[in-house]
Amino acid sequence: MKIYHAKDYQEMSRMAANLLAAQITLKPDSVLGLATGSSPLEVYDRLAMRCRQKDLDFGRITTVNLDEYKGLAPQDPQSYRYFMDTHLFSRVNIAKNRTFVPDGLEEDGAKACENYETILDSLGPVDMQLLGLGHNGHIGFNEPADAFPALTHQVDLTASTIDANRRFFTSASAVPRQAYTMGIGSIMRARKILVIVSGSAKARILKEAVNGPISPLVPASILQLHPDVTVIADEAALSLF
Ligand code: F6R
């Protein structure tokens, strides 16, 4: 695992955007695994800017997102599909039909997850997977648990995740209680993984994930076993190293 130190959120975002841009340039038909949340916002801004300047071409890129809230429609401003459309897909020359997000409107959890696994299988390994790190060590919505779930599955969100995500909703009670997420196995199949972490609130969990025992209680700790992981974290997130 390589750990790069960035001064702050802006520098972290610049470095991560550079790695993703290099991936797109070197392999223009890459499959990119993408995340939502606050961490990648500036990364997406930077990629969109480079695309606008004709410095980057998304014309042959395919994307798969990690997760989606169960019950939210694509047009719902809180859905992850809406987030991706707003922050990236509508700003770059990507073919919309090659952007995949689990179907939050599919009420049958087993079916939603099976369908997403079929899509992942048909695309082959993700070339570069971008991840944020949850305050409780989750990646995607793989919450601390007794075992590492392999495939896309339905999860009950933990109180800590609901609390962390309430800032995007009118209140904690408006945060959906369930989500569909790629499993740890699906994430670990990626050829390269890029993790971005910012802020002192993530310092303790980042240290546990990188240096602690590999345990499903800290889902991100599994990344220690992946052969090609790059972590880009800012000074505040690295303050306990
Ligand atoms: C989002 C996702 C989550 C976030 C994590 C960090 O698609 O899968 O695992 O990456 O919760 O969120 P932020 O970046 O908002 O701190």
pLDDT single digits (tens) 65-111: 999 999 999 999 999 999 999 999 999 999 999 999 999 999 999 99
Residue having the nearest C-alpha atom to atom 8 of ligand 1: 140
Query: In the sheet that 2-6 helps form, which strands lie side by side, from edge to edge?
Result: 2-6, 229-234, 192-197, 128-132, 31-34, 62-65, 99-100
**138 assigned to active site:** yes
Question: Catalytic pick from 68, 87, 117, 136?
Answer: 136
Kindly report the pTM of this predicted structure.
Answer: 0.97
Atom of ligand 1 nearest to the CA of 65: 7
Q: 179, 66 in Cβ contact below 8 A?
A: no
> For residue 44, how many other CB atoms are within 10 A of its CB?
23
18 in Cβ contact with 10 (< 8 Å): no
CB 74 within 8 A of CB 80: no
End-to-end CA distance of the chain: 15
Per-residue pLDDT at 168 exceeds 90 = no
4-37 confidence digits (pLDDT tens): 999 999 999 999 999 999 999 999 999 999 999 9
Q: Catalytic site residue 5? A: no
Distance in Å, CA 132 to ligand 1 centroid:
5
Instruction: Please report the pLDDT score of residue 240 as a whole number.
Output: 97
The pLDDT mean for the chain works out to: 97
67 is catalytic: yes
Q: Give residue for tokens 């670990």.
A: 188
